[in-house]
Amino acid sequence: MSKYGEKNIKAYSNNFTTMTPGPVAKWMRTCVIFQIFRFIAINLKMLVVVKKSH
């Protein structure tokens, strides 16, 4: 770690190396209708996995 520490790193600057979400990713994370469909799809996948194990 440098002598300046992480407090001097500013988000969205050139030195900030993590990915920032684009407009589609922001929409997918905030759209309630999309989240409901995603919730249903994940639950169906979990049901398939549980059914295979029993």
Residue 18 has pLDDT above 80, yes or no: no
pLDDT of residue 51: 93
| Per-residue tokens: 2 | 């440098």
CA 23 – CA 45 distance, rounded (Å):
27
pLDDT of residue 11: 66
Residue 1 has pLDDT above 60, yes or no: no
Q: What is the pTM of this model?
A: 0.56
pLDDT of residue 20: 78
pLDDT of residue 7: 64
